[in-house]
Chain A
Amino acid sequence: MSDTAITLLEAVNLALARALEEDADVLLLGEDIGTNGGVFRATAGLQERFGERRVIDTPLAETMIAGLSVGMATQGLRPVAEIQFMGFIFPAFEHLVAHAARMRHRTRSRLTCPLVLRAPFGGGIHAPEHHSESTEALLAHIPGLKVVVPSSPARAYGLLLGAIRSDDPVVFLEPKRIYRATKTLVEDDGRALPLDTCFTLREGHDVTLVSWGAMVSETLSAADRLADAGISCEVIDVATLNPIDHATLLASVAKTGRCVIIHEAPRHGGLGAEIAASLAEQAAGELKAPPKRVTGHDTIMPYYRNELLYLPDTDDIVAAVHELMEYAG
């Protein structure tokens, strides 16, 4: 495997297989994940390889999937549950918020809840209603719940292994727009990536671009174009949305003095606000311009005919950076 270039989706599959192989306490459960291998094929071949006891097709009930995972995790299993699309995660919320996130805290670590809830999220694949939203801020707001988003095949592999081995509950959101966008070499070495750090994908000195998920691709494209225009961008993939590694973001902005935060979720109450506020509180003296956000609008995610109008694109990011560079104070 290690010498073949694979997609983000295949990297998810590779990490799941690795986790199943190395730890008998890891079980997969979800709708259509077994014989069908998942609607996106993320679990393809895993039931065949690891059996029906460990790769479980559940009844069609998201509340049940989450509640069952909580119960399993309290007994020391490491359930990795799939919610087929993030738009259907809401029935699972009560169990995530009222139980998974609190189990360790309310038992003073007598019990823990090492579950992973995977869900494809975000727009850009011409999907039906309810299949394209980005509601990560709702989850990242919950103390005790880790929220992780990969943006490349290698980070999908390493972060998913990190999430499964984590003793904390993790919601792992997979940017389905880039599930099959690129292929890169991913070494199946069983090495997890840490869940307490941002990843600096490109160093620069004029402006810091902060993003996650599918928007990282747009952000990197923008950085390329801006480089041609003589503007040097530092690009940071936040990756773990709760808890956020503020130190890396602060250090970068201390260097560049400018920051654009890019996410496809709506602006109001989005994580861009949290990051901008933290920078304003802790790096005001270093900022040459106010932090800027490039985000989805505060409307319902449109049906697919208009989704490209809604999603931030490279032009939006480039324009925002030019605006910041021209800011005179």
Chain B
Amino acid sequence: MHEVRYHGEIRFTRYLDKDGTPLGELPDWAHQAQPWVDYYQQMVLARQLDTKAISLQRTGQLGTYASLLGAEAIDVVCARLMQAEDVLVPYYRNHAMQMIRGVPIDQILLYWGGDERGSAAAEMGKDLPNAVPIATQCLHACGVATALKYRGQAQAVLTMIGDGGTSKGDFMEALNVAGAWQLPVVFIINNNQWAISVPRSKQCIAPTLAQKALGAGIRGEQVDGNDALALHEVVGQALERARAGKGPTLIEALSYRLSDHTTADDATRYRPSEELKDAWQREPVARLRNWLHRCSWWDEERENAWQAEAKRMIDTAVEQYLAAEPQPVDDLYDHLYAECPPALAEQREQARHKQARQQGGQDHE
């Protein structure tokens, strides 16, 4: 005989349509100007940072850079909802989160400019550096959460991954252990529809990525990642549950990668231009601005003033970044082990001479 042992469902949350028009009566918490104006301002700042980073790369002043275009709402809302003592375990597209958590913008640029000191900023606290290998950050987040839980700290860990990363074992192993141990971790999938050139439809047959949570026995839901209101509610609840010891959540935020994968990529080779044009109709920054205008919490004058202020902040940071002193050559050797072993100390000495030679010093042979 057969019986049904399990029925799963995935909730989807959206409050604003693509033009910023409410889809119905909004909850009480949406009836005042904050945090929405703040979210909007940070989203503008994030976009300006992104635009500037790409232009720095194009002019040879920054290395290969992963654009965050289209992820502004996800990054800003998640970062704003995190508390200082929560821990961020980022992937390589979360620099807006780092900025909002207090990392100086020039330090963020330093990382993308090929300098390890960009992950050394004291403002990063116990946050992990960017994970470049796919999905590995999900397991690190579980380890951080294990540490928080072991020490009885009522804080949460938030980690993010792309849609492509959900195909990897690390992601599934992380969901599994987070569920088994009821860890205080929130997994965010920035489902921007593309993993470099491979579309979401080729990653997985499941209609939602959020339902991968069900196999691990944890809560999973989907949210419009271009809708700051929906993100605010869903991510906020997940973080609170985590801090309250009520276990992990997987949130699939639906967005669109409006950029190339990185500055080393050219999406016109594989992505239909119609699809991109359509995605720009749903993008997060204009959507929130339209709603703020509708609520009379924002206007043209404030827009112009904030765009100018954001530009000033980014320009100042770029100046600081470009003026950064070169990294001492010893740094390459002195941060590998707690103490530099003798064989490495010899190589450090060689590097000092090589640096002097490359800089045209007297050591030239």
Contact = CB atoms under 8 A, between A and B. Distances in A.
A290 interface: no
B170 interface: yes
A131 B108 CA distance: 45
Chain B interface residue count: which class? 35 or more
B342 A247 contact: yes
A13 B357 CA distance: 52
B170 A110 contact: no
Given A63-B169, A94-B133, A71 B144 contact: yes
B341 A243 contact: yes
Interface in A21-76: 27, 53, 58-59, 61, 63-64, 66-76
A59 B142 CA distance: 13
B338 A168 contact: yes
Interface in A210-232: none
A196 B341 contact: yes
Contact of A64 (B116, B119, B176, B336): B176
B126 A67 contact: no
B89 interface: yes
B150 interface: yes
Given A67-B136, A67-B174, A71-B89, A166 B338 contact: yes
Given A74-B140, A94-B136, A63 B116 contact: no
A196 B340 CA distance: 10
B203 interface: no
Nearest to A196: B341
A27 B146 CA distance: 11
B124 interface: yes
B343 interface: yes
B63 to A, nearest CB: 15
Contacts of A244: 343
A196 B132 CA distance: 32
Contact of B116 (A53, A108, A196): A108
Contacts of B132: 98
B148 interface: yes
Contacts, number: 136
Interface in B318-351: 331, 335-339, 341-344
Given A53-B150, A143-B336, A244-B343, A110 B119 contact: yes
Interface string A243-284: 110110000000000000000000000000000000000000
A110 B176 contact: no
A286 interface: no
B120 A110 contact: yes
- By CB atoms of chain A within 10 A, which of B146, B180, B338, B343 has the most? B146
Contacts of B331: 108
A98 B142 CA distance: 17
Contact of B338 (A103, A108, A167): A167
A79 B180 CA distance: 19
Given A108-B117, A109-B335, A67 B342 contact: no
B335 A67 contact: no
B136 A98 contact: yes
A107 B177 contact: no
A111 interface: yes
A144 B119 contact: no
Contact of A63 (B122, B147, B170): B170
B336 A106 contact: no
B129 interface: yes
Given A59-B177, A107-B129, A74 B144 contact: yes
Given A94-B133, A110-B122, A71 B146 contact: yes
B148 A64 contact: no
Given A77-B150, A108-B116, A64 B139 contact: yes
B128 interface: yes
B173 interface: yes
Contact of A108 (B173, B335, B337): B335
B136 A99 contact: yes
A246 B87 CA distance: 41
A95 interface: yes
Given A53-B150, A72-B147, A98-B136, A106 B129 contact: yes
A297 B140 CA distance: 38
A167 B129 CA distance: 18
Contacts of A105: 116, 335-336
Contacts of B170: 63-64, 67
Contacts of A176: none
B173 A67 contact: yes
Contacts of A69: 143
Contacts of B174: 64, 67
Nearest to A108: B120
Contacts of B229: none
Interface in B132-176: 132-133, 136, 138-148, 150, 169-170, 173-174, 176
B119 to A, nearest CB: 5
Interface string A230-245: 0000000000000110
Interface string A140-154: 000110100000000
A95 B136 contact: yes
Contact of B140 (A67, A109, A166, A246): A67
A68 B170 CA distance: 10
Nearest to B149: A53
Given A75-B147, A98-B133, A98-B136, A68 B142 contact: yes
A77 B126 CA distance: 12
Given A64-B177, A68-B139, A104-B336, 19 more contacts: A61-B176, A64-B174, A67-B138, A67-B140, A71-B128, A71-B139, A71-B143, A71-B146, A72-B143, A76-B147, A79-B143, A106-B116, A106-B119, A108-B335, A110-B119, A111-B129, A112-B338, A144-B337, A244-B343
**10 shortest interchain CB distances as A-B pairs:** A71-B143, A67-B139, A108-B120, A71-B140, A75-B147, A243-B341, A64-B173, A167-B338, A68-B143, A72-B143
27 contacts: A61-B177, A63-B139, A64-B176, A64-B177, A67-B138, A67-B174, A68-B177, A70-B139, A71-B143, A72-B143, A74-B126, A75-B144, A95-B136, A95-B139, A99-B131, A103-B129, A104-B338, A105-B336, A106-B119, A108-B116, A108-B119, A108-B331, A109-B120, A111-B128, A143-B336, A196-B341, A243-B337
